[in-house]
Amino acid sequence: AQSVTQLGSHVSVSEGALVLLRCNYSSSVPPYLFWYVQYPNQGLQLLLKYTTGATLVKGINGFEAEFKKSETSFHLTKPSAHMSDAAEYFCAVTLNSGYSTLTFGKGTMLLVSP
């Protein structure tokens, strides 16, 4: 079985500041990890994903995440926040073997102030 924990239901940053959204996972086998973003009244959109290979993954809109197996973490970062980044972000995990669906975290709402 797999699970995801997102630390902080809300994160507030100023425009131009560093964005750091935390995600820790639990998995019995090597995981595949994802970050999705949900804008108000919209469905989820894939930001980036880690499958195998390079542990630093770059996604859309300037976001990136680093897979750290020793820390069981997959934190999402962006060097400089923009007002348009305000949204809810979900970390998700699936297993790297057999049949497995996505297990999502509870989400982190990112608030960006001018």
Site of interaction with other proteins (CB under 8 A): 4, 9, 32, 36, 41-46, 49, 51, 90, 92, 94-96, 99-107
Strand partners, 13: 112
Residue 18 or 46 having the CB closest to other proteins: 46
Provide, rounded to whole angstroms, the least separation between the CB of residue 33 and other proteins.
10
Provide, rounded to whole angstroms, the least separation between the CB of residue 72 and other proteins.
18
Provide, rounded to whole angstroms, the least separation between the CB of residue 22 and other proteins.
15
Residue 77 or 100 having the CB closest to other proteins: 100
Q: How far is CA 75 from CA 40, 80, 97, 98, 114, in A?
A: 22, 16, 23, 25, 24
Distance CA 50, CA 3 (A): 16
